[in-house]
Amino acid sequence: MATRFQADRDLVVISESQGSKLDPSTRNGVGAKMGLDATKPLAADEMVFKRIRVPGEEDVDVAALLAGTGRSNWREAVKALTWLGSEAGIPRLCGGCRMRIAVMAAGAVGGYYGGRMAAAGHDVTFIARGAHRDAIRRDGLKIESTLGDLHLEGRQCHR
């Protein structure tokens, strides 16, 4: 979608659409629907994609890395690698690079994933507004999870 979607021309909003009456932001279930048109135009030339290489990826022994998690299921091994990250001495594929990330509307989902990325050593800025922003600035971002709790200071929350 990132290669074919331009928000100024491909975002479709349909007002006065029936939705769920359980959604408190609607008027008795009537609200707006949004669609993203990422359809390839019929007359478009065939696209050629160049594979992106990550510096240091050829130095990573994926089989040994997954075996080191102690998990027999590859999906569970990947989850372990995702959450353990650099704290467990697992090398990053980018050779120790730090990403700079902005999390827009840092609510439950954005706060969780942004918090995990920050804990992994990336430079994360949270964008929020109003009382939510003030609470994050004052109390920090707190994650309580079966995968491990986390508390970040709130100085990186902006509007």
Residues 69 and 108 in one domain: no
**Per-residue pLDDT averaged across 126-143, rounded?**
84
Residues 71 and 105 in one domain: no
Residues 105 and 155 in one domain: yes
What pLDDT digit, counting tens, does each position of 89-120 carry? 444 444 455 667 888 877 888 888 888 888 88
Residue 135 confidence class, pLDDT cut points 50, 70, 90: confident
State if pTM tops 0.95. no
CB 103 within 8 A of CB 128: no
Comparing CA positions, the residue from 122, 98, 99, 127 lying closest to residue 111 is 127
Is residue 109, in this structure, part of any structural domain at all?
A: yes
Comparing CA positions, the residue from 150, 134, 117 lying closest to residue 125 is 117
What pLDDT digit, counting tens, does each position of 25-36 carry? 889 989 988 888
Number of domains in the chain: 3
Is residue 114, in this structure, part of any structural domain at all?
A: yes
Kindly report which listed range (11-25, 84-98, 101-115, 121-135) carries the lowest average pLDDT score.
Answer: 84-98
Is residue 104, in this structure, part of any structural domain at all?
A: yes
3-class SS of residue 5: coil
How is residue 45 annotated by DSSP? P
Q: What is the pLDDT of residue 82?
A: 54
DSSP strand pairing (150-152 vs 141-143): antiparallel
Is residue 26, in this structure, part of any structural domain at all?
A: yes
Is residue 24, in this structure, part of any structural domain at all?
A: yes
Comparing CA positions, the residue from 35, 3, 42, 1 lying closest to residue 17 is 35
Q: Which domain holds residue 142?
A: 98-159
